Chain A
């Protein structure tokens, strides 16, 4: 059973479209992170959200942590081919651990 469920698992869109990726759980997390992973590389951290209801923006990317700290979303505005990659959410169950629990990932393809 996956503790963190990501949806959709695959997304293929045209350049310029908007998209949202969801990361859901029945468990509470002390923090959630979003990573982007390119083929043959390790995940690279995009953002960490800690407070319930928190919203963070990184250029065209908007991240939100659910009020109950059980879910998160990643919204990309006007997607570009350079956004193509595997997007992973990952959570920490407690505030004093470095151990990450990952979702299964969302593969995004942005076609020019």
Chain B
């Protein structure tokens, strides 16, 4: 596709439910990032993949958060046993190479936990 695509755009989950958020990066992009953006705040780094390798997961807030990119393309961010504080917009970004090349962001998935 022309840009980074995320699905679903909106997700409402009951507290305790598991959710899976999908990111389709720009074709051929090596690097993929997940960020969490609370309302009225800047994005916060969650995790980073280079191809299928998860090189940095230092931003994942708890062991309820898990991300994968098994074939080095599509990535899934999974949140188990969702809690109200997980409510946020989850942004995915991809870049052509590893390192400080320009990152392109998707529109995000807005997760609301009720």
In the complex, A11 has a CB within 8 A of chain B: no
Contacts known (A42-B93, A98-B95); A92 close to B42, Cβ less than 8 A: no
* B42 adjacent to A42 (CB under 8 Å): no
Task: Give Cα A99–Cα B95 distance, bound, in whole angstroms.
Answer: 11
**CB-defined contacts of A92 to chain B, threshold 8 Å:** 100
Contacts known (A42-B91, A42-B105, A42-B106); A98 close to B42, Cβ less than 8 A: no
**CB-defined contacts of A109 to chain B, threshold 8 Å:** none
* B105 adjacent to A96 (CB under 8 Å): no
In the complex, A49 has a CB within 8 A of chain B: no
Task: Give Cα A61–Cα B42 distance, bound, in whole angstroms.
Answer: 21
Interface residue count on the A side (C-beta < 8 Å): 26
How close is B84's CB to chain A, nearest CB, in angstroms?
21
Contacts known (A40-B107, A42-B105, A42-B108); A101 close to B45, Cβ less than 8 A: yes
Question: Which residue of chain A lies nearest to B47 when distances are taken between CB atoms in the complex?
Answer: A99
* A104 adjacent to B99 (CB under 8 Å): no
* A98 adjacent to B48 (CB under 8 Å): yes
- Checking B44, B100, B108 against A97 with a beta-carbon cut-off of 8 angstroms, the contacting residue is B100
* B105 adjacent to A44 (CB under 8 Å): yes
Contacts known (A40-B107, A42-B107); A102 close to B100, Cβ less than 8 A: no
- Checking B42, B98, B99, B108 against A102 with a beta-carbon cut-off of 8 angstroms, the contacting residue is B42
**CB-defined contacts of A103 to chain B, threshold 8 Å:** 42
Known A-B contacts: A40-B107, A43-B43, A104-B42. Give 17 more (CB < 8 A). Answer: A30-B100, A31-B100, A42-B106, A43-B105, A45-B102, A90-B42, A96-B100, A98-B31, A98-B48, A98-B100, A100-B35, A100-B43, A102-B35, A102-B44, A105-B40, A105-B41, A107-B40
